[in-house]
A and B are shown apart, each in its own frame.
Chain A
């Protein structure tokens, strides 16, 4: 009987979000495990993955082909080669086959690029001018958030400042503007202007390589759900965690192709990896921080609405107010508009049953997207815990305490009133 009095488990947490912390400790997600939540997040993964399939291709196309074009008027018109480019994690020739589908662009994406929302076969340029297209500006905004929040990717940024990187880019710049005397003259006068652009191009490549992984992951999750093999929110999260570990080591690099020749600006041999140089910075930059929406915060310095320290930025999707989506000055609208075209039917039916149905579908899917990103963030938190700390079923009480401390630290970030963690616990938040 004495054994019973010894504490064998941790006492309940006293944290404000104790319930969620207990759920994480039991191997769950920040998002409650309900069939409705599962349906929503998987459906939106699918809707997100199709435009993402375009994002990563175009990001790499810009980083590798458009490069320093001073007037990149056609940077969103990706070449056939990039549209057919096999994804490294899908298709028959994949390094590691995550999605069982084909490696080239998704058929739904191709159909959309061809006919668009207007459902008319028109030249690409007309689709573009009529704004019947994928909102690539959103991908670029994510890239710039990663680029601008410098502190979150120290090793990668240190390399961008190194002499080696400068020499690599110098060679590429000279090759790119070969024979173009005005640009070469400008380069002579203001070299930093060009080097800074190259750095930005490296971030294009970085984000493109990150999403090249996420697109097949989301496609596969959608397929598994359709086959009935994903049955709960924690399972969906575990799939993400496993995916993260499987791909953690994929190299992050930046190659530029000038007149058929490849210039290695960040060579693969540099040893940058997907998890540390792309995934974690991405989550921090885009899910947590980004930048204040022009339509919700005043940049007036005297008003002090925007924090002085970038580490205090809290404008990512985990904090975003989705209700104003569709208004002026709310950047996520671009993404919501993109996802709208690729929603699976079961989600469309669902949306028609709630709110204003067709009319506020952008907001409804935005909130769904927020839920699903809480699940993705849960996967990242669990992956970090696996990498840095102890298993959840560790018998050692101190190890469990360390785990709890880690979880509490992570959840502390959602104590801000803007955080939507509390909202997504409620199925009525739509």
Chain B
């Protein structure tokens, strides 16, 4: 059930690479669309097979590969992975659809895009630390090419920066994994084994810190974020959709799966610090976005801000906040993809991204009225306006975190206010006002160019009105994760370190229990 998610895109990539070169870019794109459409259909099938009642991993697929190294082909899925897989399949299709029709070197482009998609899907499914790491690293190469060949200005710089940062992140993650396995006393890299390992608390803290930095670069958290604005801005819209919508989730996913999953004791200890870190990310992202003059940069910084909520929700680890954090990853993926798609259309039609040059795009006849309207809607979704999915997930995080970390939660609430501020600035400068009569002879936006925006908008609105359809997939999984931290609390008690961290952790988990009751 799970392997096709990896192998359809991978084999599809090979197929596309082997297509005859006389095919037009549009034809190659159609082939890529069919392949990613098949993955999307498979994912929908996965949803029908998913058992909502079990909290543990499902649909296990195991095949020995290199047992000597502890590396096995070991896949399984739970609520957290399921949401990420869904996001990956959907956004891959969207990214391929929204790519410009007359791409240069189309076969290479779409093959790389599908490789990224397959690799990321594998990483989300991997039940083996080494397998996760392999796929995590493999994805870097196609991404490097995607940025450095089809990117905008300064693409070499951005691609190199991205590669260096992510390679370092990979190295840290690898170090963390090796340490975990060695300290656990085996050479088996399977997730199950690693989770059972008894590791002293001090070592746990060190390993978790290493993973935090490694995944923090990927998420990204301040101060490891500086690759992100350059990369997002330089990448072409479809690559930016993959980067922001899916790749950033590798970071948060890794943090939850490996950070929280393997080191619940250390996680409990470090949680207050993580909450503050998340809140600072939110504030930093929002304030920096306010200062930007380039709409794509604004959206890029908004991404930094929104990943802060995920960290806050993870740090609070009540069931509510975890469900909120997982849903926030999905909602952020949808909204960011929508924003990047729309910004890409604006840039393609108007020829600029500068706030001081854009104006009056809401003009019904000569502007981009529909794109502007959707831009307003996605800005509101991002800022957490009720009725749209952003509100639901942010509110879940706040509700789940407030009892545990009131101050960071309040800071994050202020952050959503600031998010509204910069999106209003963006919308005001871009959509409102009047067109410049000298320049405003823009091409019209064809209906088919807006299909991705329609799909994403529909999801953003429907999931905003009926959040259960988003939330209930990850309820059981987050309950299991909360369970991990309650035992962690007992462990910490036995270690009897009466620190301030401990007391806050105990209040956290009692709140977690009570809110777990209220959710289920």
Do the beta carbons of B444 and A323 come within 8 Å of each other?
A: no
Interface of A is mostly: loop
Interface centre among B365, B441, B443, B444 (most CB of A within 10 A): B365
Q: Which stretch of B27-35, B149-157, B246-254, B432-440 is in the interface?
A: B432-440
B20 proximal to A (CB < 8 A): no
Chain B window 343-383, contacts with chain A (Cβ cutoff 8 Å), 1 for yes, 0 for no: 00000000000000000101111100000000000000000
Do the beta carbons of B364 and A323 come within 8 Å of each other?
A: no
Do the beta carbons of B440 and A327 come within 8 Å of each other?
A: no
Minimal beta-carbon separation of A268 from chain B (angstroms): 45
Interface of B is mostly: loop
Residues of B within 8 A of A285 (CB): none
- Whether A325 touches B437, Cβ cut-off 8 Å, given contacts A356-B444, A359-B444, is no
Minimal beta-carbon separation of B495 from chain A (angstroms): 67
Do the beta carbons of A323 and B434 come within 8 Å of each other?
A: yes
Interface centre among B363, B366, B440, B443 (most CB of A within 10 A): B366
Residues of A within 8 A of B362 (CB): 327
Do the beta carbons of B365 and A326 come within 8 Å of each other?
A: yes
- Whether A362 touches B434, Cβ cut-off 8 Å, given contacts A323-B440, A356-B444, is no
Q: Number of residue pairs across A and B with beta carbons under 8 Å?
A: 38
The one of A321, A360, A429, A430 in contact with B434, judged by C-beta atoms closer than 8 angstroms, is: A321
Residues of A within 8 A of B435 (CB): 323-324
Residues in B416-449 with C-beta less than 8 Å from chain A:
434-435, 437, 440-441, 443-444
Do the beta carbons of A355 and B437 come within 8 Å of each other?
A: no
A161 proximal to B (CB < 8 A): no
A363 proximal to B (CB < 8 A): yes
Minimal beta-carbon separation of A24 from chain B (angstroms): 25
The 10 nearest A-B residue pairs measured at CB: A326-B365, A360-B365, A356-B444, A326-B364, A323-B435, A363-B365, A360-B366, A359-B444, A323-B437, A323-B366
Q: A296-B434, A323-B435, A359-B365 are in contact. List 8 more A-B contacts (CB 8 A).
A: A323-B437, A323-B440, A324-B360, A325-B365, A326-B364, A356-B444, A359-B444, A360-B365
Residues of A within 8 A of B365 (CB): 325-326, 356, 359-360, 362-363
The one of A296, A326, A355 in contact with B441, judged by C-beta atoms closer than 8 angstroms, is: A355
Do the beta carbons of B437 and A321 come within 8 Å of each other?
A: yes
Do the beta carbons of B437 and A327 come within 8 Å of each other?
A: no
> What's the interface size class on A, roughly?
10 to 19
For A364, the closest partner residue in chain B by CB is B365
Do the beta carbons of A356 and B366 come within 8 Å of each other?
A: yes
Minimal beta-carbon separation of A161 from chain B (angstroms): 41
Do the beta carbons of A324 and B363 come within 8 Å of each other?
A: yes
Chain A window 359-373, contacts with chain B (Cβ cutoff 8 Å), 1 for yes, 0 for no: 110110000000000
A192 proximal to B (CB < 8 A): no
Do the beta carbons of A363 and B434 come within 8 Å of each other?
A: no
Chain A window 404-430, contacts with chain B (Cβ cutoff 8 Å), 1 for yes, 0 for no: 000000000000000000010000011
Report B's interface with A, CB cutoff 8 A.
Answer: 360, 362-366, 434-435, 437, 440-441, 443-444
A326 to B369, CA, bound (A): 11
Interface centre among A321, A325, A355, A423 (most CB of B within 10 A): A355
Minimal beta-carbon separation of B450 from chain A (angstroms): 14
Minimal beta-carbon separation of A421 from chain B (angstroms): 14
A228 to B167, CA, bound (A): 75
Do the beta carbons of B444 and A324 come within 8 Å of each other?
A: no
Chain A window 324-347, contacts with chain B (Cβ cutoff 8 Å), 1 for yes, 0 for no: 111100000000000000000000
A324 to B436, CA, bound (A): 10
Minimal beta-carbon separation of B368 from chain A (angstroms): 11
Minimal beta-carbon separation of A364 from chain B (angstroms): 9
Residues of B within 8 A of A325 (CB): 365
Residues of B within 8 A of A323 (CB): 360, 363, 366, 434-435, 437, 440
Instruction: Offer 19 A-B interface pairs, CB within 8 angstroms, sorted by A.
Output: A321-B434, A321-B437, A323-B360, A323-B363, A323-B434, A324-B363, A324-B434, A324-B435, A326-B365, A355-B366, A356-B365, A356-B444, A359-B365, A360-B365, A360-B366, A363-B365, A363-B366, A429-B437, A430-B441
Minimal beta-carbon separation of B437 from chain A (angstroms): 5
For A367, the closest partner residue in chain B by CB is B437
The one of B363, B441, B444 in contact with A327, judged by C-beta atoms closer than 8 angstroms, is: B363
A362 to B363, CA, bound (A): 12
Minimal beta-carbon separation of B386 from chain A (angstroms): 26
A359 to B443, CA, bound (A): 11
A321 to B366, CA, bound (A): 13
Interface centre among A321, A323, A429 (most CB of B within 10 A): A323
Residues in A303-333 with C-beta less than 8 Å from chain B:
321, 323-327
A326 to B362, CA, bound (A): 11
Residues of B within 8 A of A359 (CB): 365, 444
Residues of A within 8 A of B363 (CB): 323-324, 326-327
A324 to B440, CA, bound (A): 11
Minimal beta-carbon separation of A76 from chain B (angstroms): 25
A423 to B437, CA, bound (A): 9
For A328, the closest partner residue in chain B by CB is B364
For A295, the closest partner residue in chain B by CB is B434
Minimal beta-carbon separation of B54 from chain A (angstroms): 54
Residues of B within 8 A of A363 (CB): 365-366
A323 to B360, CA, bound (A): 10
For B364, the closest partner residue in chain A by CB is A326
Minimal beta-carbon separation of B350 from chain A (angstroms): 14
For A361, the closest partner residue in chain B by CB is B365
Residues of B within 8 A of A326 (CB): 363-365
For A296, the closest partner residue in chain B by CB is B434
Minimal beta-carbon separation of A323 from chain B (angstroms): 5
Minimal beta-carbon separation of A415 from chain B (angstroms): 18
For A429, the closest partner residue in chain B by CB is B437
For B436, the closest partner residue in chain A by CB is A323
A360 to B444, CA, bound (A): 9
A430 to B364, CA, bound (A): 16
Residues of A within 8 A of B440 (CB): 323
A429 to B443, CA, bound (A): 16
Minimal beta-carbon separation of B133 from chain A (angstroms): 51
Residues of A within 8 A of B360 (CB): 323-324
Interface centre among B364, B434, B441, B443 (most CB of A within 10 A): B364
A362 to B364, CA, bound (A): 11
Minimal beta-carbon separation of A50 from chain B (angstroms): 22
Residues in A1-37 with C-beta less than 8 Å from chain B:
none
Residues in A77-96 with C-beta less than 8 Å from chain B:
none
Residues of A within 8 A of B443 (CB): 356
Residues of A within 8 A of B366 (CB): 323, 355-356, 360, 363
A356 to B363, CA, bound (A): 13
Residues in A134-158 with C-beta less than 8 Å from chain B:
none
Minimal beta-carbon separation of A212 from chain B (angstroms): 32
A359 to B365, CA, bound (A): 6
A325 to B441, CA, bound (A): 14
A429 to B362, CA, bound (A): 21
Minimal beta-carbon separation of B402 from chain A (angstroms): 42
Residues of A within 8 A of B444 (CB): 356, 359-360
Minimal beta-carbon separation of B465 from chain A (angstroms): 28
For A428, the closest partner residue in chain B by CB is B441
